[in-house]
Amino acid sequence: MNPEIIIRKIKPEEAAQFAKFSSDLFAETFNKFNDPQDMENYLAEAFNLKKIEQELANPNTYCFYATKNSMPIGCIKVIIADASFTGIKSVELSRLYVSKEYHKQKIGATLMAFAIDFAIKNQAQKLWLGVWEHNQKAIDFYHKWGFIKTGIHNFKLGNDVQQDWLLEKVLA
């Protein structure tokens, strides 16, 4: 992919930086489509420091930065699910964000390739994610990577209940 880009695991002591970075990227992407109060409420809930610290401490949750010149320019969060409920070991790609100034530089592709490799190394049979039904740019990106729509689920942004598409990529 891009040799200037380094993907590294986020350390627990970076929780505050990661919370702000993730929140900023989410807002950068979705502010213009949502009610400001709903956005403010969602960001306060989803990216508060305590929640991010819990995510980083969870042994099944992994957060990574994509960095360029040691500066974060993108990130992903992946969650390993055991096979006890479905019989299929899977990995959820819970977040994939790239700073707007680095769009069209294949950073998203680098992160996606990393997520797929991560899932395979963890013996997952599928990689799945949720994407807002109105985020056509992201939907097109995921389709290029072989993800197919398998369902829908509600996503609550503040008081606004939106629909996400569930997309899956079979790995094995």
Gap between the Cα atoms of 118 and 162, Å rounded:
29
Gap between the Cα atoms of 169 and 89, Å rounded:
13
Gap between the Cα atoms of 145 and 142, Å rounded:
5
Directed axis angle between helix 15-30 and helix 36-46, to 10°? 160
Gap between the Cα atoms of 107 and 112, Å rounded:
9
Would you name the residues annotated as active-site residues?
Answer: 142
Gap between the Cα atoms of 77 and 118, Å rounded:
11
